[in-house]
Amino acid sequence: MKALVFDGTALAERLVPRPRPRRGEALIKVRCAGICSTDIEILRGYMSFRGIPGHEFVGTVVSSSPRRLAGSRVVGEINLSCGSCPLCRAGLGTHCTTRSVLGIQGRNGAFAEYLALPVKNLHIVPPSLSDEEAAFTELVAAACEIPAQVDFRRSHSVYVLGDGRLAAMVAQVVRLKTKKVAVLGIDRDKLERIAAVGIETRDLKRRHGKLDRRDFVIDCTGSPEGLPLAAELVRPRGTIILKSTYQGTLEWNPAPIAVNEITVMGSRCGPFDTALDLLERRKIEVLPFLSAVYPLGSWEAAFRRARAADAFKVLIRIA
Amino acid sequence: MKALVFDGTALAERLVPRPRPRRGEALIKVRCAGICSTDIEILRGYMSFRGIPGHEFVGTVVSSSPRRLAGSRVVGEINLSCGSCPLCRAGLGTHCTTRSVLGIQGRNGAFAEYLALPVKNLHIVPPSLSDEEAAFTELVAAACEIPAQVDFRRSHSVYVLGDGRLAAMVAQVVRLKTKKVAVLGIDRDKLERIAAVGIETRDLKRRHGKLDRRDFVIDCTGSPEGLPLAAELVRPRGTIILKSTYQGTLEWNPAPIAVNEITVMGSRCGPFDTALDLLERRKIEVLPFLSAVYPLGSWEAAFRRARAADAFKVLIRIA
């Protein structure tokens, strides 16, 4: 099959054997796959990953055990846990210490014609959702992890830092829980597109009055500048949600965390069922944040586009 | 009066005017004052403080309104809040944005013959406690802030990182709530003295088996190395309590916080009443952690001693 393979230096299209599903796994023909910031960080060395990257996908089940899934259109949770360690037994399978992660850690991913995933990781896509919409499921689920961790009240005030695809999803998800949400970014065009779905935005590059401090600040910048800025903008005893991961180093004095008794909560993958439900009920708009769809053969152009400052989500159409 | 004054470059003994208590404040004759790591960081530039440092003290009230406190032996909370801003009105006076902090921020401190503090900040020292014991109140209160922020269960496991005076207090306070507490440090002698009050200790410089991951890791290292080590030792979805503040910069990639969905809680000053209660009921041992007492005239030797790797608490006896 055709696949994009990262050898530690460069990404290249190659012909590789189809994955062989293990017991309990399904073979999935990939329909389309999204390029995530994590993929771009992986090409810069993040997680020291080697193999086929890609973890946001929609596909069709070719074969599975039980068979009833065959032919279904699915999305899939990306963590492959052992199921038997103390963390798994405590229901924290996404934190299993011997886990592999689709296209991120020890497991070939979705930039390929086929992938294999455990049946228990799969979720059937409602027919009303297009492939392009369903490809946002993993991203929306990551946003849904935040209200799963934090009890928002209507009266809480929130900043979302960053103007990318994750920020756009997070702001929409959080807005369902609390009214006072603003996205702070630096790209005027992207902020305008976020504003177009009814989210308040502020351009950090423009002159503006002093920003008020908020109960929650959610760092979706994907950059080392996010956390220090969040610490400036959160109120004393407030909470920062850290969504950003990146290759590279933060240079900072974390004294404000201790002095202002701030809580920093890391947040990663989230619940697919909640995400699919919000997508199906049209509570979250995703297509305004689809920047482009490329065929697999144009993967270099797709990655260039995904890296561009003005891009939201870029998809690769594989079948 | 005699006082130690920091001019931004060096600490020096000077003759300065006595402080003039404002409305609602007491004039206090300082009996003894403790040297805290924050004082040492201040001399390295932390908080850009200028003036008389020192915030751990025991003193005798000379004059106050109401008068009934005159003659009392007291310790004092160090945050001077406005009492009227939204944070103060919400009971978060220690986070008042216009606050001053005794010997740390905008307010002369305790390395002097006299200091002034609002009467509402003062706590009378029980007669059964010596000056030397009472001088630990602020430090013990800082340790007591942790169980005020976190609901410990008996079954929780905890590491305390650092082998200094704060770590010794924190470990003793946390042990009252949960059984599995170990202090991880690098100074053999100090670890032995912590072990002597019944706390489990491990020497990070010695060969030991792989350390298990714990539910809570409390960073009392006062060093940029503390937080990254804490992130390695806390379990996924576990909590790091950040007590350390220091002058200087942390260089680190905080990805483990997001990936392992760790919570980092900053923690600063704590409740004096709880601390005095624990001291009076002999639930916390402090005198094993008193390294030396110097007269004010020997302040240079006192600071040298406080900076030494093997020192716990060093006091300056002023009256």
Q: pLDDT digit string (tens) for A119-134?
A: 999 999 999 999 999 9
| Alpha carbon separation from B58 to A196, B5, B181 (Å, rounded) | 61, 19, 30
Residue B245's pLDDT band, with cuts at 50, 70 and 90, is confident
Task: Considering only the beta carbons, identify the residue of A95, A149, A251 that sits closest to B251.
Answer: A251
Interface touch A250/B246, C-beta < 8 Å = no
Residue A263 near chain B (CB below 8 Å): yes
Q: pLDDT digit string (tens) for B213-224?
A: 999 999 999 999
C-alpha span between A164 and A229 (Å, rounded): 17
Q: pLDDT digit string (tens) for B256-267?
A: 999 999 999 999
- Check residue B51 and report its DSSP letter: B
Q: Please provide residue B237's backbone torsions phi and psi, each rounded to the nearest 5 degrees.
A: 65, 10
**Looking at chain A, which residue has its C-alpha nearest residue B79?**
A259
Residue A208 has pLDDT above 80, yes or no: no
**Looking at chain B, which residue has its C-alpha nearest residue A270?**
B261
Distance in Å, alpha carbon of B174 to nearest chain A alpha carbon: 18
Indicate the SS3 state at residue B68: helix
Indicate the SS3 state at residue B105: strand
Residue B236 near chain A (CB below 8 Å): yes
**Cβ B184 vs Cβ B159: under 8 Å:** yes
Tokens encoding A81: 């846990």
The pLDDT value given to residue A248: 84
Task: Considering only the beta carbons, identify the residue of A253, A256, A259 that sits closest to B249.
Answer: A253
The pLDDT value given to residue B206: 86
Interface touch A92/B252, C-beta < 8 Å = no
Q: pLDDT digit string (tens) for B14-73?
A: 999 999 999 999 999 999 999 999 999 999 998 899 999 999 999 999 999 878 899 999
Classify residue A281 by burial, with Cβ atoms within 10 Å: 0-12, 13-18, 19+: exposed
Residue A66 has pLDDT above 80, yes or no: no
pTM for the whole structure: 0.91
**Looking at chain A, which residue has its C-alpha nearest residue B251?**
A251
The pLDDT value given to residue A153: 97
Classify residue A6 by burial, with Cβ atoms within 10 Å: 0-12, 13-18, 19+: buried
Three state DSSP letters for chain A? CEEEEECCCCEEEEECCCCCCCCCEEEEEEEEEEECHHHHHHCCCHHHCCECCCCEEEEEEEECCCHHHCCCEEEECCEECCCCCHHHHCCCHHHCCCCEECCCECCCCCCECEEEEEHHHEEECCCCCCHHHHCCHHHHHHHHHHHHHCCCCCCCEEEEECCCHHHHHHHHHHHCCCCEEEEEECCHHHHHHHHCCCCEEEECCCCCCCCCCEEEEEECCCCCCHHHHHHHHEEEEEEEEECCCCCCCEEECCHHHHHCCCEEEECCCCCHHHHHHHHHCCCCCCHHHEEEEEEHHHHHHHHHHHHCCCCCEEEEECC
- Check residue B210 and report its DSSP letter: P
Residue B209 has pLDDT above 80, yes or no: no
Q: What is the ipTM of this complex?
A: 0.89
**Cβ B163 vs Cβ B192: under 8 Å:** no
B173 sits in the region (left: phi over 0; alpha: psi -120 to 50; else beta) called alpha
Residues 6+ apart with CB under 8 A from B193: B168, B288, B289, B312
Residue B207 has pLDDT above 90, yes or no: no
Q: pLDDT digit string (tens) for B247-298?
A: 889 999 999 999 999 999 999 999 999 999 999 999 999 999 999 999 999 9
Helix (H) or strand (E) holding B1: none
Residue B133 has pLDDT above 80, yes or no: yes
**Cβ B31 vs Cβ B131: under 8 Å:** yes
All residues of chain A having their beta carbon less than 8 Å from the beta carbon of residue B251 are: 249-251
Size of interface A-B (CB pairs under 8 A): 104
Q: pLDDT digit string (tens) for A135-153?
A: 999 999 999 999 999 999 9
CA dihedral (A235, A238, A241, A242) positive or negative: positive
**Cβ B189 vs Cβ B205: under 8 Å:** no
Q: Please provide residue B23's backbone torsions phi and psi, each rounded to the nearest 5 degrees.
A: -55, 130
Indicate the SS3 state at residue B278: helix
Interface touch B264/A260, C-beta < 8 Å = no
Residue A192 near chain B (CB below 8 Å): no
First vs last C-alpha separation in chain B? 12
Interface touch A236/B265, C-beta < 8 Å = no
All residues of chain A having their beta carbon less than 8 Å from the beta carbon of residue B253 are: 246-250
The pLDDT value given to residue A65: 81
The pLDDT value given to residue A68: 84
**Looking at chain B, which residue has its C-alpha nearest residue A264?**
B264
Task: Considering only the beta carbons, identify the residue of B247, B249, B264 that sits closest to A251.
Answer: B249
